[in-house]
């Protein structure tokens, strides 16, 4: 009898412990990353970015150990965008024009969450702040709160059923929404991936001279040095290649703290300032993106990213020329 009572007590205690220890925010985010990689799902997603609202059909398939994302626009201009690993292809259906890019530093159109969340502990607090329905799916609300004023607040709504992201939002430090990505409906497919993805995006008919970074190994090759970085930010990517419709190369260093990213560009200042109406020196903003332009000798430095204006200012003021600009 005593043994029975003891066993019953253990079961009750075990149940109670399980109830008292729900998933942590980091565990939910890790499950989300995994679910995003391994699930075949599709839905309608609305992007509110850079002050523009766009609704698109989204498809994610897992084929041959590689995830593929596909976006099909619901509004003009009709286009289809496909991401295979770090390669993005965009087809403009009216002109039949295909644009190919390599973005090794991005993994999803919906939300990018670093795999090692513990490394972000110095910059962010992670907390489950509640549960809400998104597109009629009960979801965890994970708050990613910065520990300083160098970055924005983020929230991710993750479906309790399959741990896929239903909504992601970026807020400024006063709580105003700057960017949002939200599913209005989602279906998780069980059918084979090859049937799920039927892209109209044809393979390029010409050899793929596809904008692969001319150099992406080390930012030491850049003509400038970023001497002051906000805590948690690291240099993750460097390229030197033409950005505009000219052959003039532009140095591009990408900084990231895992969630927020900042690009630093340096190019020779144009003699004819009327062409393309370049922005003057100072701080500029669009949506969540803030930027700062500085003139260093005969070069123009532009720092931009989805971070507060004070952060781009801090980074821009710490940039020094290493040697003459490209």
- Pick out residues in 6-45 that bind another protein (CB under 8 A): none
* Shortest distance (Å) from residue 257 CB to another protein: 15
Would you say 54 or 132 has its CB closer to another protein? 54
Q: 319 near 225, Cβ under 8 Å? A: yes
> In whole angstroms, what is the distance from residue 222 CA to residue 233 CA?
18
The answer to the question of residue 123 lying near another protein (CB under 8 A) is no
Which residues, other chains included, contact 120 with Cβ-Cβ below 8 Å and sequence gap of 6+?
Answer: 114, 232, 257, 258, 259
* Shortest distance (Å) from residue 54 CB to another protein: 5
* Shortest distance (Å) from residue 11 CB to another protein: 50
> In whole angstroms, what is the distance from residue 65 CA to residue 38 CA?
9
> In whole angstroms, what is the distance from residue 303 CA to residue 252 CA?
10
The answer to the question of residue 176 lying near another protein (CB under 8 A) is yes
Q: 86 near 69, Cβ under 8 Å? A: no
Binding residue for another protein, selected from 313, 318, 322, 326, defined by CB under 8 A:
313
Q: 179 near 111, Cβ under 8 Å? A: no
Binding residue for another protein, selected from 38, 177, 228, 297, defined by CB under 8 A:
177
Tokens of 321: 């020329």
**Contacts with another protein in 237-256 (CB under 8 A)?**
242-245, 252, 254
* Shortest distance (Å) from residue 282 CB to another protein: 5
The pattern of x and - marking residues 73 through 112 that bind another protein according to CB under 8 A reads x-xxx-x-x------xxxxx--xxxxxxx-x--x--x---
């Amino acid at each position: 009898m005593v043994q029975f009572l003891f066993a019953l007590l253990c079961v009750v205690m075990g149940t109670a412990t399980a109830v008292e220890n729900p998933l942590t925010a980091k565990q939910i985010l890790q499950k989300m990353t995994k679910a995003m990689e391994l699930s075949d799902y599709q839905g309608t997603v609305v992007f509110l970015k850079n002050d523009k609202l766009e609704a698109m059909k989204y498809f994610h398939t897992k084929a041959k150990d590689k995830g593929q994302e596909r976006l099909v626009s619901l509004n003009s201009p009709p286009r289809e965008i496909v991401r295979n690993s770090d390669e993005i292809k965009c087809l403009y259906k009216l002109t039949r024009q295909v644009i190919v890019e390599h973005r090794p530093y991005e993994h999803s159109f919906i939300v990018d969450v670093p795999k090692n969340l513990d490394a972000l502990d110095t910059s962010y607090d992670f907390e489950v702040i509640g549960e809400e329905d998104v597109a009629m799916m009960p979801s965890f609300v994970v708050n990613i709160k910065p520990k300083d004023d160098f970055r924005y607040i983020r929230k991710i709504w993750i479906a309790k059923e399959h741990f896929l992201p239903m909504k992601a939002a970026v807020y400024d430090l006063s709580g105003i929404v700057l960017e949002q990505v939200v599913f209005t409906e989602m279906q998780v497919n069980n059918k084979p991936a090859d049937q799920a993805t039927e892209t109209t995006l044809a393979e390029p008919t010409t050899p793929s001279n596809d904008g692969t970074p001319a150099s992406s190994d080390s930012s030491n090759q850049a003509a400038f040095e970023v001497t002051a970085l906000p805590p948690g930010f690291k240099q993750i990517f460097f390229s030197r290649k033409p950005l505009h419709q000219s052959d003039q190369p532009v140095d591009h260093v990408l900084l990231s703290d895992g969630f927020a990213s900042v690009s630093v560009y340096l190019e020779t200042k144009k003699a004819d300032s009327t062409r393309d109406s370049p922005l003057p020196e100072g701080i500029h903003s669009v949506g969540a993106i803030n930027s700062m332009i500085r003139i260093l000798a005969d070069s123009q430095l532009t720092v931009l990213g989805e971070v507060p204006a004070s952060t781009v200012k801090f980074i821009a003021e710490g940039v020094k020329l290493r040697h003459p600009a490209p």
